């Protein structure tokens, strides 16, 4: 455990809360050599689990953060889920056909996710200062003063240029800055219990969803264990709980039962959304900014992706490469995603809390079958689950430019401004033998400019391009011309697959942000548009 007895008096960024969101943000800042202080009121990491499922998009973020190997080593790859009604499998969803780096969910307990992120932070020279609770804060135009109290009653204030509240659903930071939060508690009481399942007859790399009562949802964990989420009943006799869970398991897989169960935990869930993610020099991320039904496993994933969006922006502002407007784009890009995830959670909560009668079960079964019995319905459900379609197309920060005007952009295929750049390859460097893919080019902390050229004659001088970029940014020329110049930044798309995946027919350029989203698509390539983007960053 990393524990700090004393705190520095000042820091560029104070992060309050060392859950998955706070840890991701601290790693993202540390990767960019930005000092931060990460505090948590708990003297030790929490031993119990909440989140289990890590989605494809979060895994891509973890790959960029250089922690993917640890996650893949410790987690369980989950290929999809099966839906059961009246003992019969009625529908299923598979992630395997998704075109993305990680076409699966990875199941791992939240405390292990926190462990891996903490290890990465420590590798980068950071640490978690535990046992310090934020009690209050004051801010001016130039900074924030935070008032903290240690577990043994010592009070200390810390001044920070920026403070980020990643302190969970009952955020003290959110309260201190007076940001309103709207939402509701879901009526159903749920429970979760871990154990082994004896005589499970279905795939052990797929979750199961049982529609009718007793509604339950076994999710596979590493080490032959399962986590079972179940619909609980208020004031029920605890001694009947296991019988009830076993009845549900038996309905899905006759003869199966839960062995070596841990203590069950009962919980209520909430949907919440903060009115704003930023007030002056204080920002909110993760559950402090939003909360959703855990049924689709979006809560922690959304928090991780908030921090992946915010990390580079905060680093840009602190290093003078970006203006405060960049931080406004954080809310503009991330809040609509939290709102959409929250709304979709409402629908699923309603489907999962059907009354215990055959007509209601039949109605839900019909609804799910209508959605999931076609290949396209299954694909869409898988895409919705894994978060790979989340985009920032409406962000004021991203831009499309076509010399023939805006309507010409409507015929663009491939990623649009604001979309996450898909992976594609192979790309053949002109100076080495080893082939690369687009995703590998993005493994940097800055922007990446991709100049999609048919031949070398139309590409401006390297110095001219580099003079527009910021320190840490890189650029490549990707060409289908195999007779290319022997320069390290020239990559040959010999099979044309990269051009096809990006929907490129004529020369154009893509500017990719440090979080892997397309900042700009510009056809034909125009350096004045790139310069204008960098000016916008500074607003």
Ligand X SMILES: Cc1cc2nc3c(=O)[nH]c(=O)nc-3n(C[C@H](O)[C@H](O)[C@H](O)COP(=O)(O)OP(=O)(O)OC[C@H]3O[C@@H](n4cnc5c(N)ncnc54)[C@H](O)[C@@H]3O)c2cc1C
Query: Which residues bind to ligand X, rule: CB under 6 A?
Result: 16-22, 39-42, 50-53, 110, 133-134, 166-168, 172, 192, 267, 286-287, 294, 297-301, 303
Question: What minimum distance in Å lies between the beta carbon of 251 and ligand X?
Answer: 22
Residue 432 CB partners (closer than 8 Å, separation 6+): none
How many CB atoms within 10 Å of residue 493? 24
Whether 423 contacts 100, CB under 8 Å: yes
Which residues are paired to 479 by β-bridges?
A: 453, 492
Rg (CA), the chain: 25
Classify strands 282-284 and 155-165 as parallel, antiparallel or unpaired. parallel
Instruction: Say how far apart CA 309 and CA 388 lie, in whole Å.
Output: 14
Closest of 181, 177, 146, 176 to residue 279, by C-alpha: 177
For ligand X, the closer of residues 50 and 79 by Cβ is: 50
Minimum gap (Å) between residue 361 Cβ and ligand X: 24
Nearer to ligand X, 256 or 302 (CB): 302
How many angstroms separate the Cα of 454 from the Cα of each of 219, 232, 479?
49, 62, 5
Peptide bond into 524 cis (omega under 30): yes
Return the number of the residue (117 or 477) whose C-beta is nearest ligand X: 117
71 vs 489 by CB, closer to ligand X: 71
Alpha-carbon distance of 536 to 396, in angstroms, equals: 9
**Rounded least distance, CB 34 to ligand X, Å:** 19
Taking the least distance from each CB to ligand X, the nearer of 267 and 324 is 267
CA 58 to chain CA centroid, nearest Å: 4
Closest to ligand X by CB, 291 vs 477, is 291
In this complex, which beta carbon is closest to ligand X, that of residue 189 or of residue 362? 189
User: With contact defined as beta carbons under 8 Å apart, do 35 and 11 qualify?
Assistant: yes
> Between 133 and 437, whose beta carbon lies closer to ligand X?
133
Cβ 130 to ligand X, closest distance in Å? 9
Task: From residue 352, give the alpha-carbon distance in Å to each of 82, 205, 304, 311, 319.
Answer: 15, 22, 26, 36, 48
CB of 39 to ligand X, least distance (A): 5
Nearer to ligand X by Cβ, of 75 and 429: the residue is: 75
Of residues 485, 483, 497, the one with CA closest to residue 435: 497
Min separation Cβ 146 and ligand X, Å: 9
Q: How far is the CB of 338 from ligand X (least distance, A)?
A: 11
What torsion, rounded to 10 degrees, do the Cα atoms 101, 412, 333, 307 define? Answer: 20
Please state whether beta strands 76-78 and 105-107 pair in parallel, antiparallel, or not at all (unpaired): antiparallel
Residue 294 CB, nearest approach to ligand X (Å):
3
For tokens 């790979």, what's the residue? 388
Closest distance of CB 217 from ligand X, Å = 10
Q: Least distance from C-beta 79 to ligand X, angstroms?
A: 16
Least distance to ligand X, CB of residue 76, Å: 13
Task: Tell me the C-alpha to C-alpha distance, in Å, between residue 476 and each of 61, 400, 427, 430, 442.
Answer: 22, 19, 11, 11, 11
43 vs 460, beta carbon nearer ligand X? 43
User: Is 17 or 446 the residue whose CB approaches ligand X more closely?
Assistant: 17
What's the maximum distance between 2 C-alpha atoms anywhere in the chain? Answer: 78
DSSP 427: B
């Amino acid at each position: 455990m990393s524990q700090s007895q004393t705190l520095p008096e000042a820091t560029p960024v104070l992060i309050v809360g060392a859950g998955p969101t706070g840890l991701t943000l601290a790693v993202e800042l540390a990767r960019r050599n930005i000092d931060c202080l990460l505090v948590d009121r708990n003297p030790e990491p929490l031993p119990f689990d909440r989140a289990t499922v890590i989605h494809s998009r979060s895994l891509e973020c973890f790959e960029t953060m250089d922690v993917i190997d640890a996650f893949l080593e410790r987690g369980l790859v989950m290929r999809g889920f099966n839906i059961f009604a009246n003992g019969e499998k009625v529908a299923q969803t598979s992630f395997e056909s998704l075109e993305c780096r990680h076409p699966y969910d990875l199941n791992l307990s939240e405390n292990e996710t926190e462990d891996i992120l903490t290890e990465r932070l420590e590798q980068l020279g950071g640490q978690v200062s535990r046992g310090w609770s934020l009690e209050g804060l004051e801010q001016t135009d130039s900074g924030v003063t935070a008032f903290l109290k240690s577990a043994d009653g010592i009070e200390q204030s810390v001044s920070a240029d920026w403070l980020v509240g990643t302190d969970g659903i009952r955020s003290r930071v959110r309260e201190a800055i007076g940001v309103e939060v709207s939402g509701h508690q879901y009526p159903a009481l749920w429970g979760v219990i871990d154990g082994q399942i004896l005589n499970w007859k279905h795939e052990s790399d797929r979750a199961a969803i049982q529609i009718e009562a007793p509604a339950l949802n076994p999710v596979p964990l590493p080490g032959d264990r399962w986590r079972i989420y179940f619909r609980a009943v208020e004031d029920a006799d605890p001694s009947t709980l296991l019988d009830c869970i076993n009845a549900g398991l038996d309905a899905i897989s006759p003869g199966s039962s839960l062995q070596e169960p841990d203590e069950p935990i009962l919980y209520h869930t909430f949907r919440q959304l903060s009115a704003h993610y930023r007030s002056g020099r204080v920002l909110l991320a993760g559950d402090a900014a939003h909360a959703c039904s855990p049924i689709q496993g979006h809560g922690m994933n959304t928090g991780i992706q908030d921090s992946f969006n915010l990390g580079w922006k905060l680093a840009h502002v602190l290093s003078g490469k970006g203006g405060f407007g960049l931080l406004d784009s954080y809310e503009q890009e991330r809040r609509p995603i939290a709102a959409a995830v929250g709304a979709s959670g409402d629908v699923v909560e309603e489907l999962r809390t059907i009354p215990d009668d055959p007509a209601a079960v039949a109605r839900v079964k019909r609804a799910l079958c209508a959605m999931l019995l076609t290949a396209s319905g299954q694909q869409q459900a898988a895409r919705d689950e894994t978060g790979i379609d989340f985009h920032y197309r409406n962000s004021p920060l991203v831009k499309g430019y076509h010399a023939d005007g805006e309507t010409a952009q409507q015929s663009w295929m491939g990623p649009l401004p604001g979309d996450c750049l898909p992976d594609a390859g192979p790309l053949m460097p002109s100076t080495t033998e080893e082939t690369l893919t687009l995703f590998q080019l993005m493994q940097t902390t800055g922007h990446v400019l991709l100049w999609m050229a048919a031949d070398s004659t139309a590409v401006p001088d390297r110095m001219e391009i580099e003079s527009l970029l910021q320190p840490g940014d890189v650029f490549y020329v990707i060409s289908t011309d195999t007779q290319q110049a022997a320069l390290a930044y020239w990559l040959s798309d010999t099979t044309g697959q990269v051009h096809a995946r990006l929907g490129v027919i004529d020369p154009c350029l893509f500017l990719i942000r440090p979080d892997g989203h397309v900042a700009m698509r510009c056809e034909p390539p125009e350096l004045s548009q790139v310069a204008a983007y960098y000016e916008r960053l500074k607003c």
